[in-house]
């Protein structure tokens, strides 16, 4: 089914549905920045409330006495605009005649992958940047403390990060992001292997790590991009472990961005969608993938970066 959106292009509802179903397990941006999917206006006023968790309030009321009022904490507004992102792929009618595969579906996969890769890089850059966090929420391992060293102590390092977050937001982090090379290091780390009950087990599994670190969600960053300067493939997530407290609401439509969370992905309600238009009338059709989102760090104190 096709819906006209002016003279130049039309929305392809079938391709839009397919595009929304395409996911790459290597991309974790939408897990690190939970999606808020009910936004109507690209102009945002994001209200950030002061952290008043853990504040004791008097609740005892005397007979015929006044009720007890809680003192609302302060807040600050941050104004931002959700930018639009798009990519198109050209499909020549003559190429389409001779093709064995569905070229429009290929265009859909290519453009969706390009959009998602850039979003993944944005998420990786934000969460691995020390400037994103308060100064005391960043630790740089060196020497024998680097987890590739057999005498290093990742369990104590993770506990220190959990304590730091808990002291600030009165919540334990619920997510641990590991770069793929960090995850591989931890799978064979002597300290973790020594904590397993099965002496015959050679590899520390993801479930083992969840129990050892006492963090319910562990996410592995595996995405690769091609460095435009050198042409070499590089990992977007490298040499890091990141503790986060994230909004646990499972529904993007139910989230409003006001709950405590390290970050959010504010996305316009009608996005993503796919449309098409002609570059050369009757000859070359462009299949275009469109998205509109903003990755936003809402609570830097809900994160802790360990890097090496």
pTM attached to this predicted model: 0.85
* CA–CA distance, 8 with 49 (Å, rounded to integer): 44
Specify the CATH number for the domain of residue 277.
Answer: 3.90.1690.10
Provide the angle, in degrees to the nearest 10, between the axes of the packed helices 13-21 and 103-128.
40
How many domains does the chain contain in total?
1
What is the chain's alpha carbon radius of gyration, rounded to the nearest angstrom? 24
SS3 string, 57-77, reads CCCCCCCCCCCCCCCCCCEEE
> How many C-beta neighbours within 10 Å does residue 149 have?
15
For 212, the token pair is 């050892």
Look up the domain containing 127 and give its range: 2-49+78-307
Examine residue 289 and state whether it is found in any structural domain, yes or no: yes
Q: Cβ contacts of residue 291 below 8 Å, gap of 6+?
A: 84, 85, 86, 115, 119, 267, 271, 272
* pLDDT, position 1: 31
Examine residue 61 and state whether it is found in any structural domain, yes or no: no
Mean pLDDT, consecutive 10-residue stretches, the chain (308 aa), reads 44 59 75 94 81 76 87 77 96 82 89 96 98 98 98 98 96 97 97 86 92 98 93 96 95 86 95 92 92 96 97
Examine residue 170 and state whether it is found in any structural domain, yes or no: yes
* CA–CA distance, 158 with 154 (Å, rounded to integer): 6
Please state, in angstroms and as integers, the Cα–Cα distance from residue 125 to each residue in 27, 264, 299, following that order.
13, 15, 16
Name residue, tokens 């319910």.
216
Cβ–Cβ under 8 Å, residues 247 and 259: yes
Examine residue 73 and state whether it is found in any structural domain, yes or no: no
* pLDDT, position 16: 61
Examine residue 258 and state whether it is found in any structural domain, yes or no: yes
Q: Identify the three-state secondary structure at position 231.
A: coil
């Amino acid at each position: 089914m096709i819906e006209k959106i002016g003279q130049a292009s039309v929305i392809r509802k079938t391709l839009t549905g397919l595009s929304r179903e395409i996911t790459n397990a290597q991309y974790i941006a939408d897990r690190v920045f939970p999606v808020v999917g009910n936004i109507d206006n690209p102009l945002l006023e994001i209200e950030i409330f002061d952290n008043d968790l853990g504040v004791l309030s008097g609740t005892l009321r005397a007979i015929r006495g006044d009720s007890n009022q809680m003192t609302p904490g302060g807040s600050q507004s941050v104004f931002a605009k959700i930018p639009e992102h798009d990519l198109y792929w050209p499909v020549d009618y003559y190429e389409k005649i001779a093709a064995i595969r569905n070229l429009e579906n290929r265009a859909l996969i290519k453009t969706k992958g390009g959009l998602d890769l850039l979003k993944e890089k944005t998420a990786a850059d934000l969460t691995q940047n020390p400037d994103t966090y308060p100064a005391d929420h960043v630790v740089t391992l060196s020497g024998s403390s680097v987890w590739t060293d057999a005498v290093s102590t990742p369990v104590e390092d993770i506990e220190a990060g959990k304590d730091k977050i808990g002291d600030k937001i009165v919540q334990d982090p619920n997510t641990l992001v590991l770069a793929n090379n960090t995850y591989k290091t931890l799978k064979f780390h002597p300290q973790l292997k020594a904590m397993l009950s099965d002496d015959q087990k050679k590899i520390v599994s993801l479930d083992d790590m969840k129990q050892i670190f006492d963090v319910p969600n562990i996410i592995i960053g595996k995405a690769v991009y091609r460095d435009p300067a050198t042409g070499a493939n590089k990992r977007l997530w490298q040499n890091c472990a990141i503790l986060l407290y994230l909004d646990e609401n499972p529904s993007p439509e139910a989230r409003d961005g006001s709950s405590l969370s390290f970050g959010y992905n504010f996305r316009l309600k009608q996005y993503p969608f796919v449309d098409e238009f002609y570059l050369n009338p009757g000859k070359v059709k462009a299949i275009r993938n469109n998205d509109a989102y903003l990755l936003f760090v809402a609570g830097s104190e809900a994160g802790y970066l360990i890097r090496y």
